[in-house]
Amino acid sequence: MTDEAEQGVRQGWVPELAATIALAWPLILSNLTMALINATDVVLIGWLGPRQLAAATLGLNLTWAFTLFAMGVVTAGSPMMATALGAKVKSVRDVRRTFRQSLWLVAIMVAPLWLVLWNAEPLILALGQQPELASEAALFLHGYMWSALPFLLFQAMRNYLSAVQRPGWILAVSVVGIALNALVSWSLIFGKFGLPALGLFGGGLAAPSCGPCWR
């Protein structure tokens, strides 16, 4: 390979590498913030007692398959939007259509997810768990299930911002979410700032819908 060819190759991959790093580092940090958010929830629910923490973990394990499937379907919009922008820089119509369809998919998937989680106790009992533990896990899921919709909407928006190379907004929202989640969870679990002490139900209501992060 000639010097001119080597220089051409170097000039080709260096900008690509720089663009990849610029896109990746906010996304990596936002994933770390999600882990920190869920660690905060584990600590707060753990203060209720080991049985309550076990029940919450048991309930979240039930959501694993459903959450993974829903996230996979919604995440498919990211490469589709990126491909459209790669083919045409100002491909507004295709990007807008893909993002809109992602929102429709969220609306379609969340309804059966809510139905399953609302009736989780018989499923947990069928898996051979203790009745008391199954009852408390279902109580947690009755609060936790409502976070599925905003979480999946966040994933759709995350995919859009990643495709248009604006990952900084994702990181900013995630960082704010750390303090907000801790405050809301603490208030709902233990009854602070005039809110009722909802215990395990409050922990589920305030928890972000990310069961895999608890595993």
Assign residue 88 a region (left: φ > 0; alpha: ψ between -120 and 50; beta: otherwise).
Answer: beta
Q: How far are the Cα atoms of 7, 91, 188 from residue 99, in angstroms, in the given order?
A: 39, 12, 33
Residue 12, pLDDT score: 65
* 8 A C-beta contact, residue 61 and residue 215: yes
The model's confidence at residue 19, banded by pLDDT at 50, 70 and 90, is confident
**pLDDT tens-digit readout, 104-139:** 999 999 999 999 999 999 999 998 889 999 999 999
Residue 206, pLDDT score: 84
Q: Is the pLDDT of residue 23 over 60?
A: yes
Q: Where exactly are the structural domains of the chain?
A: 26-214
Q: Among the ranges 163-172, 182-191, 199-208, which has the highest mean pLDDT value?
A: 182-191
d(CA 209, CA 123): 19
**pLDDT tens-digit readout, 39-78:** 888 889 989 999 999 999 888 888 877 888 888 888 888 8
The model's confidence at residue 211, banded by pLDDT at 50, 70 and 90, is very low
Q: Per-residue DSSP letters for 12-50? A: HHHHHHHHHHHHHHHHHHHHHHHHHHHHHHHHHHHTT-H
* 8 A C-beta contact, residue 213 and residue 61: no
Residue 114, pLDDT score: 93
